[in-house]
Amino acid sequence: MFMTRRPALRRIAMLLGLLICSPIGLAAMGVPAQPVLRIARIAGVPDQEVGAEILAVIYARLGIQVEFVNVPAKRSLIESSSGRLDGEVQRVFDVQREYPTLIAVRESISYIEPTAFVRDAGINVNGWESLRPYRVGIVRGVGSSERGTAGMPQVEPTATMDQMMLMLASNHIDVAVNDLFSGLLVIRKLGLDGQLRAVLPPLQHIDMYHFLNERNRELVPRVEAVIRGMRASGELQALRSQITERMLNEALQGAPSVNR
Protein backbone atom coordinates (compact mmCIF):
# COMPACT_ATOMS: atom_id res chain seq x y z
CA MET A 1 0.00 0.00 0.00
CA PHE A 2 2.78 2.42 0.95
CA MET A 3 4.78 1.63 -2.20
CA THR A 4 1.82 2.27 -4.49
CA ARG A 5 1.02 5.64 -2.90
CA ARG A 6 4.58 7.00 -2.98
CA PRO A 7 4.81 7.72 -6.77
CA ALA A 8 1.37 9.32 -6.64
CA LEU A 9 2.44 11.61 -3.80
CA ARG A 10 5.60 12.52 -5.72
CA ARG A 11 3.55 13.50 -8.78
CA ILE A 12 1.22 15.61 -6.68
CA ALA A 13 4.21 17.43 -5.14
CA MET A 14 5.65 18.14 -8.59
CA LEU A 15 2.33 19.51 -9.83
CA LEU A 16 2.03 21.75 -6.79
CA GLY A 17 5.56 23.04 -7.38
CA LEU A 18 4.79 23.88 -11.01
CA LEU A 19 1.58 25.63 -10.02
CA ILE A 20 3.28 27.71 -7.36
CA CYS A 21 6.05 28.78 -9.76
CA SER A 22 3.64 29.73 -12.54
CA PRO A 23 2.21 33.27 -12.86
CA ILE A 24 -1.24 31.92 -11.98
CA GLY A 25 0.10 30.16 -8.93
CA LEU A 26 2.01 33.25 -7.79
CA ALA A 27 -1.05 35.43 -8.23
CA ALA A 28 -3.14 32.96 -6.21
CA MET A 29 -0.60 33.26 -3.40
CA GLY A 30 -0.72 37.05 -3.53
CA VAL A 31 2.69 37.37 -5.22
CA PRO A 32 2.46 39.49 -8.41
CA ALA A 33 4.18 38.04 -11.48
CA GLN A 34 7.01 40.15 -12.96
CA PRO A 35 5.48 42.04 -15.91
CA VAL A 36 7.23 42.09 -19.28
CA LEU A 37 8.67 45.50 -20.15
CA ARG A 38 7.63 46.58 -23.65
CA ILE A 39 10.30 48.89 -25.04
CA ALA A 40 10.00 51.02 -28.19
CA ARG A 41 12.66 50.29 -30.81
CA ILE A 42 12.85 52.55 -33.87
CA ALA A 43 12.11 50.36 -36.88
CA GLY A 44 14.77 49.88 -39.55
CA VAL A 45 17.59 51.59 -37.60
CA PRO A 46 20.57 49.26 -37.02
CA ASP A 47 21.97 51.13 -34.02
CA GLN A 48 18.61 50.60 -32.31
CA GLU A 49 19.03 46.86 -32.81
CA VAL A 50 22.48 47.09 -31.20
CA GLY A 51 21.03 48.98 -28.24
CA ALA A 52 18.21 46.46 -27.90
CA GLU A 53 20.64 43.52 -27.73
CA ILE A 54 22.66 45.34 -25.08
CA LEU A 55 19.50 46.09 -23.08
CA ALA A 56 18.40 42.45 -23.24
CA VAL A 57 21.65 41.48 -21.49
CA ILE A 58 21.27 44.27 -18.92
CA TYR A 59 17.70 43.35 -17.99
CA ALA A 60 18.55 39.64 -17.91
CA ARG A 61 20.98 40.50 -15.09
CA LEU A 62 18.01 41.93 -13.21
CA GLY A 63 15.78 38.95 -13.97
CA ILE A 64 13.41 41.13 -16.00
CA GLN A 65 11.96 40.05 -19.33
CA VAL A 66 11.84 42.67 -22.11
CA GLU A 67 9.99 42.79 -25.40
CA PHE A 68 11.00 45.21 -28.16
CA VAL A 69 8.27 46.82 -30.24
CA ASN A 70 9.30 48.20 -33.64
CA VAL A 71 7.74 51.60 -34.33
CA PRO A 72 8.60 54.66 -36.47
CA ALA A 73 10.88 57.25 -34.85
CA LYS A 74 8.27 59.93 -34.17
CA ARG A 75 5.56 57.52 -33.06
CA SER A 76 7.86 55.72 -30.63
CA LEU A 77 8.20 58.82 -28.45
CA ILE A 78 4.43 59.26 -28.40
CA GLU A 79 3.91 55.63 -27.40
CA SER A 80 6.58 55.60 -24.69
CA SER A 81 5.88 59.05 -23.22
CA SER A 82 2.14 58.29 -23.01
CA GLY A 83 2.83 55.04 -21.16
CA ARG A 84 1.44 52.75 -23.83
CA LEU A 85 4.98 51.41 -24.03
CA ASP A 86 7.39 51.22 -21.09
CA GLY A 87 10.33 53.13 -22.54
CA GLU A 88 12.79 53.74 -25.38
CA VAL A 89 15.75 51.55 -26.34
CA GLN A 90 18.06 54.54 -26.70
CA ARG A 91 17.81 58.24 -27.40
CA VAL A 92 19.91 61.36 -26.96
CA PHE A 93 19.88 62.66 -23.40
CA ASP A 94 18.01 65.88 -24.26
CA VAL A 95 14.85 63.92 -25.16
CA GLN A 96 13.71 64.29 -21.55
CA ARG A 97 13.40 68.07 -21.99
CA GLU A 98 10.63 67.66 -24.53
CA TYR A 99 9.16 64.50 -23.00
CA PRO A 100 9.25 64.91 -19.19
CA THR A 101 7.39 61.63 -18.62
CA LEU A 102 10.45 59.79 -19.97
CA ILE A 103 13.17 59.25 -17.35
CA ALA A 104 16.75 58.88 -18.57
CA VAL A 105 18.92 56.09 -17.24
CA ARG A 106 21.97 58.24 -16.58
CA GLU A 107 24.53 55.76 -17.81
CA SER A 108 24.91 55.60 -21.60
CA ILE A 109 24.49 52.16 -23.15
CA SER A 110 25.92 52.92 -26.58
CA TYR A 111 26.71 55.77 -28.96
CA ILE A 112 26.10 56.98 -32.49
CA GLU A 113 28.48 58.84 -34.78
CA PRO A 114 26.61 60.91 -37.39
CA THR A 115 28.73 60.68 -40.53
CA ALA A 116 28.60 62.02 -44.08
CA PHE A 117 28.38 59.35 -46.77
CA VAL A 118 29.20 60.33 -50.34
CA ARG A 119 29.44 58.91 -53.82
CA ASP A 120 31.78 61.63 -55.18
CA ALA A 121 35.27 61.42 -53.67
CA GLY A 122 35.74 65.14 -54.43
CA ILE A 123 33.23 66.27 -51.78
CA ASN A 124 35.03 67.69 -48.75
CA VAL A 125 33.37 67.48 -45.36
CA ASN A 126 34.56 69.25 -42.22
CA GLY A 127 31.74 69.51 -39.71
CA TRP A 128 28.02 70.01 -40.11
CA GLU A 129 28.23 73.47 -41.65
CA SER A 130 30.34 72.19 -44.54
CA LEU A 131 27.25 70.27 -45.76
CA ARG A 132 25.32 73.48 -46.51
CA PRO A 133 26.18 73.74 -50.25
CA TYR A 134 25.06 70.17 -50.97
CA ARG A 135 21.84 68.24 -51.44
CA VAL A 136 21.72 66.41 -48.10
CA GLY A 137 19.67 63.33 -47.32
CA ILE A 138 18.59 62.52 -43.78
CA VAL A 139 16.19 60.00 -42.26
CA ARG A 140 13.01 61.64 -41.04
CA GLY A 141 12.68 61.54 -37.27
CA VAL A 142 16.38 61.04 -36.51
CA GLY A 143 16.94 63.98 -34.19
CA SER A 144 20.72 64.30 -34.53
CA SER A 145 20.45 64.61 -38.32
CA GLU A 146 17.52 67.02 -38.13
CA ARG A 147 19.34 69.26 -35.66
CA GLY A 148 22.67 69.11 -37.49
CA THR A 149 21.13 70.14 -40.84
CA ALA A 150 18.54 72.62 -39.47
CA GLY A 151 18.25 75.69 -41.70
CA MET A 152 20.17 74.20 -44.63
CA PRO A 153 18.50 74.92 -47.97
CA GLN A 154 18.66 71.50 -49.64
CA VAL A 155 17.71 68.87 -47.07
CA GLU A 156 15.80 65.83 -48.32
CA PRO A 157 14.11 63.80 -45.54
CA THR A 158 13.60 60.13 -46.38
CA ALA A 159 11.49 57.44 -44.78
CA THR A 160 14.27 54.86 -44.38
CA MET A 161 18.04 54.49 -44.46
CA ASP A 162 17.79 52.13 -47.41
CA GLN A 163 15.88 54.73 -49.40
CA MET A 164 18.41 57.43 -48.54
CA MET A 165 21.43 55.34 -49.57
CA LEU A 166 19.76 54.33 -52.84
CA MET A 167 19.09 58.02 -53.55
CA LEU A 168 22.77 58.74 -52.95
CA ALA A 169 23.85 55.91 -55.25
CA SER A 170 21.52 57.18 -58.01
CA ASN A 171 22.75 60.81 -57.71
CA HIS A 172 19.50 62.23 -56.34
CA ILE A 173 21.41 63.65 -53.36
CA ASP A 174 25.08 64.56 -52.84
CA VAL A 175 25.50 63.56 -49.19
CA ALA A 176 23.66 61.13 -46.91
CA VAL A 177 23.93 61.66 -43.16
CA ASN A 178 23.77 58.49 -41.14
CA ASP A 179 25.25 56.91 -38.05
CA LEU A 180 28.63 55.45 -39.07
CA PHE A 181 27.83 51.86 -38.12
CA SER A 182 24.27 51.99 -39.47
CA GLY A 183 25.44 53.51 -42.74
CA LEU A 184 28.15 50.92 -43.26
CA LEU A 185 25.65 48.16 -42.51
CA VAL A 186 23.07 49.47 -44.99
CA ILE A 187 25.70 49.96 -47.72
CA ARG A 188 26.90 46.39 -47.20
CA LYS A 189 23.35 45.02 -47.11
CA LEU A 190 22.48 46.77 -50.39
CA GLY A 191 25.72 45.68 -52.05
CA LEU A 192 26.92 49.27 -52.55
CA ASP A 193 30.38 48.92 -50.96
CA GLY A 194 32.23 49.93 -54.11
CA GLN A 195 29.97 52.91 -54.83
CA LEU A 196 29.53 54.76 -51.54
CA ARG A 197 31.97 55.64 -48.78
CA ALA A 198 32.00 57.25 -45.34
CA VAL A 199 33.89 60.52 -44.89
CA LEU A 200 35.95 60.28 -41.69
CA PRO A 201 36.17 61.50 -39.01
CA PRO A 202 32.45 61.45 -38.14
CA LEU A 203 30.57 64.73 -37.84
CA GLN A 204 29.85 64.07 -34.17
CA HIS A 205 30.02 61.51 -31.34
CA ILE A 206 26.80 61.24 -29.34
CA ASP A 207 26.27 59.07 -26.28
CA MET A 208 22.91 57.28 -26.25
CA TYR A 209 20.75 56.68 -23.19
CA HIS A 210 17.97 54.24 -22.34
CA PHE A 211 14.69 55.84 -21.22
CA LEU A 212 11.89 54.48 -19.08
CA ASN A 213 8.38 55.83 -18.67
CA GLU A 214 7.93 57.50 -15.29
CA ARG A 215 5.76 54.64 -14.04
CA ASN A 216 8.94 52.48 -14.14
CA ARG A 217 10.98 55.06 -12.22
CA GLU A 218 11.98 52.58 -9.50
CA LEU A 219 13.92 50.53 -12.07
CA VAL A 220 16.20 53.39 -13.08
CA PRO A 221 18.84 53.08 -10.31
CA ARG A 222 18.94 49.28 -10.70
CA VAL A 223 19.54 49.53 -14.45
CA GLU A 224 22.15 52.25 -13.91
CA ALA A 225 24.05 50.04 -11.48
CA VAL A 226 24.24 47.15 -13.97
CA ILE A 227 25.44 49.43 -16.79
CA ARG A 228 28.01 51.05 -14.52
CA GLY A 229 29.44 47.68 -13.58
CA MET A 230 29.54 46.47 -17.20
CA ARG A 231 31.34 49.63 -18.28
CA ALA A 232 33.90 49.41 -15.48
CA SER A 233 34.76 45.81 -16.40
CA GLY A 234 35.01 46.59 -20.13
CA GLU A 235 32.13 44.24 -20.85
CA LEU A 236 29.86 46.95 -22.26
CA GLN A 237 32.24 48.02 -25.03
CA ALA A 238 33.20 44.40 -25.77
CA LEU A 239 29.51 43.48 -26.09
CA ARG A 240 28.84 46.37 -28.48
CA SER A 241 31.85 45.43 -30.61
CA GLN A 242 30.73 41.79 -30.73
CA ILE A 243 27.19 42.73 -31.80
CA THR A 244 28.24 45.23 -34.49
CA GLU A 245 30.84 42.88 -35.96
CA ARG A 246 28.29 40.06 -36.17
CA MET A 247 25.70 42.30 -37.82
CA LEU A 248 28.20 43.57 -40.41
CA ASN A 249 29.20 40.00 -41.27
CA GLU A 250 25.55 38.96 -41.59
CA ALA A 251 24.85 41.94 -43.86
CA LEU A 252 27.76 40.98 -46.12
CA GLN A 253 26.50 37.41 -46.41
CA GLY A 254 23.03 38.63 -47.34
CA ALA A 255 24.17 41.29 -49.86
CA PRO A 256 23.13 40.92 -53.52
CA SER A 257 25.78 38.70 -55.12
CA VAL A 258 25.73 40.71 -58.33
CA ASN A 259 27.20 43.70 -56.51
CA ARG A 260 29.85 41.91 -54.44
Q: Per residue of the chain (260 residues), give pLDDT as tens.
A: 444 455 455 554 454 454 444 444 444 555 455 689 999 999 888 999 999 999 999 999 999 999 999 998 879 999 999 999 999 999 999 999 999 999 999 999 999 999 999 999 889 899 999 999 999 999 987 889 999 999 999 999 998 999 999 999 999 999 999 999 999 999 999 999 989 999 999 999 999 999 999 999 999 999 999 999 999 999 999 999 999 999 999 998 876 754 44
User: Do 166 and 190 lie in a common domain?
Assistant: yes
Domain of residue 127 covers: 114-199
pLDDT, position 18: 46
Q: Where are the alpha helices (DSSP H) in 40-158?
A: 46-61, 73-82, 95-98, 143-148
pLDDT, position 185: 96
- CATH classification at residue 245: 3.40.190.10
pLDDT, position 16: 47
pLDDT, position 22: 45
pLDDT, position 5: 53
Within 10 angstroms of residue 77's Cβ, the number of other Cβ atoms is 23
Query: How buried is 141 (Cβ within 10 angstroms: 0-12 exposed, 13-18 middle, 19+ buried)?
Result: middle
User: Do 42 and 56 lie in a common domain?
Assistant: yes
pLDDT, position 26: 44
pLDDT, position 259: 47
* 8 Å CB contact between 173 and 167: yes
pLDDT, position 27: 45
For residues 130 and 72, what is the distance between their CA atoms, to the nearest angstrom? 29
- Torsion angle defined by CA atoms of residues 30, 31, 33 and 34, in that order, rounded to the nearest 10 degrees: 140
| Number of domains present in the structure of the chain | 2
User: Do 143 and 210 lie in a common domain?
Assistant: no
User: Do 192 and 122 lie in a common domain?
Assistant: yes
pLDDT, position 231: 97
Task: Let me know if residue 151 belongs to a domain.
Answer: yes
